[in-house]
């Protein structure tokens, strides 16, 4: 409108939306926390009164309220007088999860008022902005692409692992163990940082947890790619040795046992170094850094001491074939060499500490290198 924000119709529209907010958002807003051209010092300001506050020739111009009103108006009205702000200070902490309902409710009211203003001849456009509303918009935008992020990550893992090892079964198994680790990591984050009985128990370990009002929204997004990369790194290193032993003629079960043994030192050392490095982020009292460090620390620790040593061997063994002539689901569609030894002979060879499959007599001596049976 050429007349800008000072016409009577603007005062009517602004006051109408303020009254709606005060009537419906009582738990989040008090009259003392709202200031605008039409509502000041917990009182409605009519168009006539507002003009008198701004008019040097008015008798009200020299009053204390008028002075405060002019200072506030100067900060709220744009230089071209086409836009004005209404300041709202919420009772609810502005960065807490409970403020989301207030933001959505007020936005709905603003949209409705913009679509149907009190005076159809005076159209208005109303928007809600501020520290948390901006964060909320960014949060919703990022979370909208999280499914795409996960889908693209899974697709790339399947393609690279499948092409590198020639096995779709291996790629699918790797995706399963990686996302199991992520589920445990984020589940433990909820247990520790989400307000509740469990959090009060963990507060005895560190007072920093008392400042947490929930998991900060960006932590899962920031940590996802790093945790996936670290989990893939350790898993691929382990499975490379499993494939090496499997091609020598060991069974899936024996191959994964040998691989875990031979890679234990280097993977454990790497995991400890990474865990200790990430644990440094647990020291600051800044909750976001604390949560981020916890996610990385727990993720690496789980991959190093649980996923690699327990879950991967269990899944590889479960998917392995019980027949010496079959490759099993671990390597599908690739065919692996026939298992060189029977289960009993293989057990003896493992107990003897052999790297390559060989027949062992009752005294523990090597009889001869094992010859795989004819398929």
Structure-token pair, residue 174? 């790797």
59 CB-near residues (< 8 Å, 6+ apart): 52
Predicted confidence at residue 363, as pLDDT, reads: 59
Predicted confidence at residue 130, as pLDDT, reads: 81
Residue 161 and residue 171 in contact, taking contact as beta carbons nearer than 8 Å: yes
Residue 366 and residue 360 in contact, taking contact as beta carbons nearer than 8 Å: yes
Q: How far apart are CA 319 and CA 309, in angstroms?
A: 16
pLDDT above 80: residue 332: yes
Inter-CA distances, 106 with 42, 43, 76, 138, 193, Å: 19, 20, 19, 18, 29
Q: How far apart are CA 270 and CA 277, in angstroms?
A: 11
Give the residue extent of every domain in the chain: 8-92, 142-339
Q: How far apart are CA 53 and CA 67, in angstroms?
A: 8
pLDDT above 50: residue 299: yes
Structure-token pair, residue 30? 């008090």
At 65, give phi and psi (nearest 5°). Answer: -65, -40
Chain length of the chain: 375
Predicted confidence at residue 46, as pLDDT, reads: 93
At 198, the pLDDT band (50, 70, 90 cuts) reads low
At 1, the pLDDT band (50, 70, 90 cuts) reads very low
Q: How far apart are CA 367 and CA 276, in angstroms?
A: 47
Region 25-50 average pLDDT: 92
Predicted confidence at residue 208, as pLDDT, reads: 66
* Angle at 371 (CA atoms; ends 366, 375), nearest 5 degrees: 150
Report the run of H or E that residue 367 belongs to, with start and end: strand 366-369
Selected residue with higher pLDDT from 372 and 240: 240
Structure-token pair, residue 191? 């247990």
pLDDT above 90: residue 195: no
pLDDT above 80: residue 359: no
At 98, the pLDDT band (50, 70, 90 cuts) reads confident
Selected residue with higher pLDDT from 364 and 77: 77
358-360/87-88 β-pairing: unpaired
Q: Is 241 exposed, middle or buried (0-12, 13-18, 19+ CB in 10 A)?
A: middle
142-339 CATH: 1.20.1640.10
Closest-CA residue to 268 (of 227, 229, 300)? 300
Inter-CA distances, 251 with 258, 309, 330, 335, 370, Å: 10, 18, 11, 13, 13
Region 98-103 average pLDDT: 86
Handedness of CA 166, 168, 174, 178 (dihedral sign): positive
pLDDT above 60: residue 372: no
At 34, the pLDDT band (50, 70, 90 cuts) reads very high
Percent of the chain with pLDDT strictly greater than 70: 89
At 94, the pLDDT band (50, 70, 90 cuts) reads confident
350 preceded by a cis bond (ω within 30 of 0) = no
Region 63-71 average pLDDT: 93
Predicted confidence at residue 357, as pLDDT, reads: 78
pLDDT above 50: residue 364: yes
Count other C-beta atoms under 10 Å from residue 276's C-beta: 11
Predicted confidence at residue 369, as pLDDT, reads: 59
pLDDT above 50: residue 325: yes
């Amino acid at each position: 409108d050429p007349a800008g924000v000072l016409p009577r119709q603007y005062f009517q529209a602004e006051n109408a939306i303020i009254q709606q907010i005060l009537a419906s958002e009582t738990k989040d807003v008090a009259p003392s926390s709202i200031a605008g051209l039409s509502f000041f010092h917990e009182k409605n300001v009519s168009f006539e009164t507002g003009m008198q506050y701004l008019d040097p020739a008015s008798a009200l111009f020299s009053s204390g309220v008028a002075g405060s009103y002019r200072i506030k108006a100067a900060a709220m009205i744009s230089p071209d007088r086409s836009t004005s702000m209404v300041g709202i200070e919420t009772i609810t902490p502005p960065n807490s999860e409970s403020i989301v309902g207030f933001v959505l409710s007020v936005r709905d009211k603003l949209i409705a008022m913009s679509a149907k203003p009190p005076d159809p001849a005076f159209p208005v456009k109303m928007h809600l902005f501020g520290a948390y509303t901006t964060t909320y918009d960014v949060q919703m935008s990022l979370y909208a692409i999280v499914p795409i992020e996960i889908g693209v990550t899974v697709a790339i893992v399947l393609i690279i692992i499948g092409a590198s090892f020639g096995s779709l079964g291996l790629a699918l198994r790797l995706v399963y163990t990686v996302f199991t680790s992520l589920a445990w990591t984020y589940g433990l984050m909820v247990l520790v940082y989400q307000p509740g009985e469990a959090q009060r128990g963990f507060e005895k370990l560190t007072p920093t947890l008392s400042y947490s009002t929930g998991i900060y929204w960006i932590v899962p997004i920031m940590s996802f790619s790093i945790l996936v990369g670290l989990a893939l790194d350790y898993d691929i290193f382990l499975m490379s040795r499993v494939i090496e032993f499997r091609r020598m003629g060991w069974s899936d079960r024996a191959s994964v046992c040998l691989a875990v043994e031979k890679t234990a030192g280097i993977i454990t050392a790497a995991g400890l170094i990474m865990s200790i490095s990430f644990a440094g982020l647990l020291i600051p009292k800044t909750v976001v850094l604390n949560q981020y460090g916890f996610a990385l620390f727990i993720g690496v620790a789980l991959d190093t001491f649980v996923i690699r040593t327990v879950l991967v061997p269990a899944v590889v063994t479960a998917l392995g074939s019980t027949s010496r002539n079959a490759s099993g689901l671990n390597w599908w569609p690739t065919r692996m060499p026939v298992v060189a030894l029977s289960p009993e002979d293989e057990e003896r060879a493992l107990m003897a500490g052999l790297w390559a499959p060989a027949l062992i007599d009752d005294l523990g001596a090597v009889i001869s290198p094992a010859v795989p049976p004819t398929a």
